[in-house]
Structure formats: structure tokens, C-alpha cells
Structure 1
Amino acid sequence: MAYPLLDIDLDKIEHNARVIVELCSAHGIRVSGVTKVVCGHPAVAAAMLRGGVAGLADSRIENIRRMRAAGIDTTFMLLRLPALSRVDEVSDCVDISLNSELETLQALSASALRRGKVHDMILMIDLGDLREGVWPDHAVERAKALVPLPGIRLQGIGTNLACFGGLMPTHANMLSLVELAGEIERACEIDLTWISGINSSGLNLLVEEGMPERVNHARIGEAILLGRETTERSPWPNTYQDAFILQAEVIELKRKPSAFAGEHCEDAFGGHPHFVDHGNILHALVNVGRQDVAVEGITPQEALTVIGASSDYLGLDVSALAGRIEIGDILSFNLNYAALLAAMTSAYVEKRCVRGRLFDDRVLYA
């Protein structure tokens, strides 16, 4: 087995998906499972579908193509606003896309017509997170301009919160989205199918019964894959947080000082490392580094301390394992969202899908 290695527990992902889908279904909300952090990994996508998600959503056309090529048969949503230069690809392989720019929609309309298709879309509204979407004051005007476009069908409106700017989903801003949907329906004389209001940051609002009834679609990734809501990164009840485990091999093991004497300069990444002098420690290097993972987002499963990292190495104080650790041993790490994204994207991290570990309950949060 080659290391670094990312173990992916498909049963735990399926379980988490089922928990989230059941919660959302109880509030009349359908879930699209978001696969962007796993780069559209087909086995992960299939696990989400087994867990009950109604479709899949990704920000990259390449990932959607990867899943389609692997035989994943479902509705695919493109999360990132389409680039004007790629509208033909969008109309070719995406069922529904999120949009805000009229120029892009006009090009998408022409592309869909050339292919004899009608492309479904959701108009994104920026409620203050300052990511994608038209400002609420311009939403009706934009809807009126796009509804007549041939080859385009306005299926709903949506918003993104707690991602770019960290704006919390609340009853007030969700109600604003619902009210905008009503204004658009009246102005354009249409019925909107979807009000796509939440991602993993909106789960607490559901539990607190603060979600307006018309919000009926969610785009959920982290809560399914890592078992966490995203306002405080708290574990979600009855989900697993260790569906993904990073493993790396010990390639150097020596007694070394915990700090050094001499002049300090920037490290290779422009940082200024600070080392606390604890005397001599048992120092290990493992074969994973910043080219493989967001080092600040990994946590050793053993009682070890991360000292620092370079492109290729992670340095650890492994004194707690003195007498029990050797060259060639494998150390395991939990990951946060940023670390998972980097590890899945890295060509240097092997990926291994496993099943049958569902009854290892040590990180099932109750």
C-alpha cells in the first residue's frame, strides 16, 4: 500500500446521508448531495444516493463528467456560476445550473437551442454573504429579463450563506427569500418549483423550527461527508465524523531538540514558525506535507503534537509513543473540510474506498 493514503468509509457516508435526508424530508426539503470536496468521486456519489439524496451537485463540470462516465444516473446540478466560455459544456452535461448574469443566460439559451434542449436554472440571490447572486433589489428585474429566453426555464431561486462571508441563515433572511419568490411569481406570472435556501449551515434552523415552509431544497456536502454543521463546525447528532481518515508513514524518527538556537527567517511558505523549548523530544517525520493536504486542518488520532510542515514532510512530537513507534509505522489523522478538499485534489494521496466498518462507533456523535 502506498502512503499517504486517504481511507473513505462509504457505509458511514451513506449513513450520514440518510440522517440528513430524513431530517430535511421531515421539513419538506429535498437534498442534493454536494460532491465538490471529493472531486466528484463516483463511489462517494453512489453512497450519497444510497443514503437517499435526490440528486448530486458539484461546482466543477469535470467532476460531473467523471460521475456520468462512471455510470452515476441522477440529476446533476452545477453549483458554480457557468463561465461564458463554457456554456456549451453546461448545456451538454448539466441538468440544472445556478445563475445570476443575464449575458451568460443569453449564451446558455442559444446553446440549449442549438442542441434542441431546455436548460433548467435557479436564479441566485445574494442576501448578504457577498458571494454569487443578484442583489434582492434587482431580483425581479433579472427574472423578468430571463423568463422570455428560449431554451431556458427558470425553476426557482436560491441563495448561499455562511460560505464566503459567513452570514448565518436565519428565519428573517430565509423569509426574505420566500417573499422574493412570491414577487417574482407575480411579476412573471410563473410558478417556481424550487426555493433552494440552505446548505450544511442551515440544519440548526431546521431543528429550531425556524425555516419558512416554502424553502424546499438544500445543497448539503459537509454534514453528509464529515458529519458537521458549518456555523460552528459542531458534530451533527447520530452522524460519523471519521468517514475520511488520512494515513501517512513514519520515514524518520530521531531524538532532537524541540527548538533551535540561531537567527530565524521565513520558512518556504513565507511564514515565521515558532517553536517552544521543551528540551529534547522524539521527533518524527511522516510522508505527507503541504503539497498533499491543508496541514492546519488535520488532527492526529494519537496524543501527538504537530510541530510543523514543509511541502513534503509533516513534523510531529511523538514522545508519547516512545518505545512503541518505529520507522515504517502508519499514523492516522482526522481531517476538516479544507484538509479533505486538498487531500482529494492531490494526485499524490492514494484514495481507498472501504465498507463494512459501520459498527466502529467511536466517533458516532449522539
Structure 2
Amino acid sequence: MLKNPRLNINLRKIKKNSEYIRNLCLQYKIELVGITKGCSAIPEVAQAMVDGGIKTLGDSRIKNIQMLKKMGIKAEMMLIRIPMLSEVDKVIKWADISLNSEISVIESLSQEALKNDTIHRIILMVDLGDLREGVRPDDVLIIVEKIVKLPGVKLIGIGTNFCCISGVMPSLESLTKLVKLAEEIEHSFGINLEVISGGNTSVLKLVEDGIIPERINQLRVGVGILLGQDDARSRNLDGTYQDTFILTAEVIELKVKPSLPQGEIGRDAFGEIPVFQDLGLRKRAILALGKQDVHINNIIPIKKGIKIVGASSDHLIIDITDLAEEINVGDKLDFKLNYPALLSASTSKYVNRYFYKEENCKYSN
């Protein structure tokens, strides 16, 4: 018997998504890096990406990269979060490439690489307006001058990021600026940059529209592969599957109850003051699923007529008054996931995982 709650993971569809996006990028000579952090680097998912033709995998946690290598995943590994000084030794041991923005960290990587008689490849991140990681454009040449003098590390390129902390969208103008910075570095220091990493899933729209600058030759794509979504634009990617991950939860209570609570309203368990609308008596179900398992605001019921009322840490309340079919205690209900929900559900130790390779699967049986 399958255990609930559970993530039903369709590896065939993740492979197909990887193939489709990879082929799209290859039309413009762009390498696709598969980002695994959105599903907590589930090894089977990482392997599906590799089976789909992806040669490099990226994750924000060195622990995940270490795990994937120990599991025998045959791909280059990229650490996509700026390394912590306290983990530099592990970065050198497990990551083939890392994204960087702090010279003190790069100096430490250099020293550790020398100890291990190796060359560690780095991509210098440039902040083009999203205000997450990266050096400012005016400081790029200053830091590159220091990097190229360091033994044990090789600057293979520069990169940038969009839509992660400030919602700044990628544009032809901003990516052209990145290319010009790369050319300025090459001219100033007499080096060739192998990689100009243009960003994440949000940049795929420029690829689809055929307006990606010619020298952008790498994209780091996570949610586009995992869920077939461009969440920055709230759209599905043409040619991809969105039902790659389905969350199933079990009904543990069915009752007709008032829609308006009785008594004085204070803050709930998460410090919020809930607001309710009086809709009279409603048929409600409780599912064995809560905020400790998943980001509730980003799950979508597959069956029509179900409305999410709210959740505590361990209970999800849904309104099933308008559901056409009969629901009983013990029944299972399925939900599609957006990125925050996948991130949290794959991280929770309370959510079980089951893997499928068939095209059409019924998960809630």
C-alpha cells in the first residue's frame, strides 16, 4: 500500500522536458544546465535530466552535489550558490564548477585547490539589477584582475541571474550588456571566456523569440524542466509537461460545518489573523497534509469543485460542497504543484516519494 502524503514523480516526463528544452537551446548553441535544487536534488530526477541529454547539473547545496556524485550520477556538478568559506574544502572535492562573487572566497578556493593539486573552474556572477548575488558591472574588471593572478582556479566565464529576489526580468539589453562585459574582460586581460551564463528559466522566452544575444551560451534551468513552467511570466512552456510532480493526500475527516468560525478571532498558529466569509453550512474535508509538508498557497486541486480553505501545520481544510463526486474518509486527492510547493514538499521528510515511467498514470488510487 502506498504511504501518504506522497509525491508522485513521473521520470519519463521530466526526461522529455529535459530533451525538449535542451534541443531548443541547442538551436542557439546554448548549453543547458539542469538545476536540481527545486526538488531537493532527488537522485532519480537528476538521472532523468541526464537521460534527457543534460551534461551538467547545478545545485545550491554542496551536500546535494556530494550525494548525487556518491549515487553515481554521471554529470559535471556546478555549485550555483556562492560558496561559504566554511565549506571551501568540500567545494573543491565535490563541485567541478562554482558561481562566485566574493574575492575572499575565490582566494580561499585557490588555496584549497593548490592543496589538492587541482584546478577549480569558476564563473564570476554579475548583478544586472535583480540585486541578489553578483559584483556590480563597474567592479568587474577590478575583481577579474585579482582572479587571473590566482593559481588553482580558472575563470571560465561570467554569469548573471534574474527574477529570483526582486523579480527583475531578463531583456535583450541586459544580456547584451553581459556579453559586452565579457568582451571587455577578454580584451583587457587577453583571455578567452568559455561561458557566458545568461540566467535561469525566465531567459527561455528570449530563446523562443530568437532574440538571445549570440554569445550567451549557457542557461541554468530548474523549474522549466521540473514543472514545465516559466513562473516569472506565469506561463507553461510549450512542448513540456506540467504534471511531472503530483502531490497526493488522504482524507481523514468529512463534516458539514459552518463557514464562519464561532468566537473571538485571534492570531492562528502562524501568527496571522485569518479572514472568513460567511457562506453558510459547507461540506468540508480535512486532509493529512499541512504547512510542515508543503507551501499550501502553491498547490492546485486537480478535481474541479474543490476549494482550499486553509491549513495548519498538519491539517489541510478543503471545501468540497461543489465537488460533483462523492468523497469518503480514506480517499486520496491529487494536487498539482507550483515551484514553492515542489521545493517544500520535496524537502519535507514527511512526504513520501514514488516514481513512475508511464506516460499516463493515475496517482490517487
Shift of 1:302: 1.1
2:339 to 337, 340, 362: 337
Residue of structure 1 equivalent to 2:286: 285
Identity, % of aligned positions: 46
1:313 to 312, 315, 327: 315
Q: 1:213-264, CA deviations, whole angstroms, 9 ceiling, x for partnerless residues?
A: 0000010000111101132120011111110000000001111111123211
Output the CA distance in 1 between the equivalents of 2:113 and 2:333: 51
1:327 aligns with 2:329: yes
Output the CA distance in 2 between the equivalents of 1:231 and 1:298: 17
Shift of 1:134: 0.3
2:351 to 345, 349, 364: 349
Output the CA distance in 1 between the equivalents of 2:323 and 2:297: 22
The answer on whether the counterparts of 2:106 and 2:147 sit within 8 Å (CA) in structure 1 is: yes
Shift of 1:31: 0.4
Output the CA distance in 2 between the equivalents of 1:321 and 1:327: 15
**SS of corresponding position for 1:184:** helix
Shift of 1:286: 0.2
Output the CA distance in 2 between the equivalents of 1:359 and 1:84: 46
Residue of structure 1 equivalent to 2:230: 229
Unaligned runs of 5+ in 2: none
Superposed, 1:5-84 pairs within 5 Å as 5-84=6-85
Q: 1:99-133, CA deviations, whole angstroms, 9 ceiling, x for partnerless residues?
A: 01111111110000000100000000001100101
Residue of structure 2 equivalent to 1:364: none
Output the CA distance in 2 between the equivalents of 1:75 and 1:10: 20
Output the CA distance in 1 between the equivalents of 2:55 and 2:66: 18
Q: 1:70-116, CA deviations, whole angstroms, 9 ceiling, x for partnerless residues?
A: 11011000000000111000000000000011111111100000001
Superposed, 1:114-125 pairs within 5 Å as 114-125=115-126
Unaligned runs of 5+ in 1: 362-366
**SS of corresponding position for 2:50:** helix
**SS of corresponding position for 1:71:** coil
Residue of structure 2 equivalent to 1:295: 296
**SS of corresponding position for 1:120:** strand
**SS of corresponding position for 2:235:** coil
Q: 1:237-295, CA deviations, whole angstroms, 9 ceiling, x for partnerless residues?
A: 11111100000000011111111232111111011111211111111100000000000
Residue of structure 2 equivalent to 1:85: 86
Q: 1:128-177, CA deviations, whole angstroms, 9 ceiling, x for partnerless residues?
A: 10010100000011111111100000000000111111111111000000
Shift of 1:360: 6.7
**SS of corresponding position for 1:107:** helix
**SS of corresponding position for 1:240:** coil
Output the CA distance in 1 between the equivalents of 2:72 and 2:261: 55
Residue of structure 1 equivalent to 2:201: 200
Residue of structure 2 equivalent to 1:168: 169
The answer on whether the counterparts of 1:58 and 1:79 sit within 8 Å (CA) in structure 2 is: yes
Shift of 1:207: 1.7
The answer on whether the counterparts of 1:125 and 1:158 sit within 8 Å (CA) in structure 2 is: yes
Output the CA distance in 1 between the equivalents of 2:309 and 2:51: 40
* CA spacing shift, 1:323–1:180, aligned 2, 3 Å: closer
Counterpart code for 2:108? A
Counterpart code for 1:338? P
Output the CA distance in 2 between the equivalents of 1:36 and 1:159: 18
* CA spacing shift, 1:360–1:311, aligned 2, 3 Å: closer
Output the CA distance in 1 between the equivalents of 2:360 and 2:335: 19
The answer on whether the counterparts of 1:293 and 1:343 sit within 8 Å (CA) in structure 2 is: yes
The answer on whether the counterparts of 2:50 and 2:74 sit within 8 Å (CA) in structure 1 is: no
The answer on whether the counterparts of 1:195 and 1:216 sit within 8 Å (CA) in structure 2 is: yes
Counterpart code for 2:330? G
Counterpart code for 1:353? F
Counterpart code for 1:355? K
**SS of corresponding position for 1:53:** coil
Runs of 4+ in 1 over 3 A off after TM superposition: none
Shift of 1:322: 6.8
The answer on whether the counterparts of 1:13 and 1:44 sit within 8 Å (CA) in structure 2 is: yes
Q: What RMSD in Å do the two structures reach over aligned CA positions?
A: 1.2
* CA spacing shift, 1:292–1:359, aligned 2, 3 Å: closer
* CA spacing shift, 1:60–1:212, aligned 2, 3 Å: same
TM-score when normalising by structure 2 = 0.97
**SS of corresponding position for 1:351:** strand
Superposed, 1:102-121 pairs within 5 Å as 102-121=103-122
Moved more, 45-54 or 130-139: 45-54
Shift of 1:46: 0.6
**SS of corresponding position for 2:282:** strand
Counterpart code for 1:308? G
The answer on whether the counterparts of 1:282 and 1:322 sit within 8 Å (CA) in structure 2 is: no
